[in-house]
């Protein structure tokens, strides 16, 4: 019996959320920015790239710069 998908064919957003340890708030920001979750590996820092900010901080900084607000848009219920 298999326990789950191991081939990476699931939702790219949920895979990126767990792989890069992003919060739901950061994922909402990334979606509003129009980022591609498959490209997060290029943006995430590596051991040989200590000057890069962590991916979550990078997303938050880009969001503040573009939208001039701290929280992602949530539609009223």
Q: What is the pLDDT of residues 20-51, one digit of tens each?
A: 999 999 999 999 999 999 999 999 999 999 99
Per the domain annotation, does 35 fall within a domain? yes
Per the domain annotation, does 29 fall within a domain? yes
Per the domain annotation, does 26 fall within a domain? yes
The two three-digit tokens of residue 10, written as one number: 């699931």
Host domain of residue 34: 14-44+51-67
pTM of the model: 0.80
Q: Are 70 and 64 in contact (CB under 8 A)?
A: yes
List Cβ neighbours of 67 (8 Å cut-off, separation of 6 or more): 32
Per the domain annotation, does 7 fall within a domain? no
Q: Can you tell me the distance from the alpha carbon of 22 to that of 76, in angstroms, rounded to the nearest whole number?
A: 24
The percent of residues above 90 in pLDDT, for the chain, comes to: 74
The two three-digit tokens of residue 17, written as one number: 């959320």
Per the domain annotation, does 56 fall within a domain? yes
Per the domain annotation, does 3 fall within a domain? no
| Number of domains composing the chain | 1
């Amino acid at each position: 019996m298999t326990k789950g998908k191991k081939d990476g064919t699931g939702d790219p957003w949920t895979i990126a959320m767990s792989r890069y340890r992003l919060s739901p708030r950061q994922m909402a920001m990334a979606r509003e920015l129009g980022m591609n979750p498959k490209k997060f590996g290029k943006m995430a820092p590596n051991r040989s790239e200590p000057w890069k900010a962590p991916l979550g901080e990078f997303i938050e900084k880009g969001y503040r710069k573009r939208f001039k607000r701290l929280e992602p848009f949530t539609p009223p219920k």
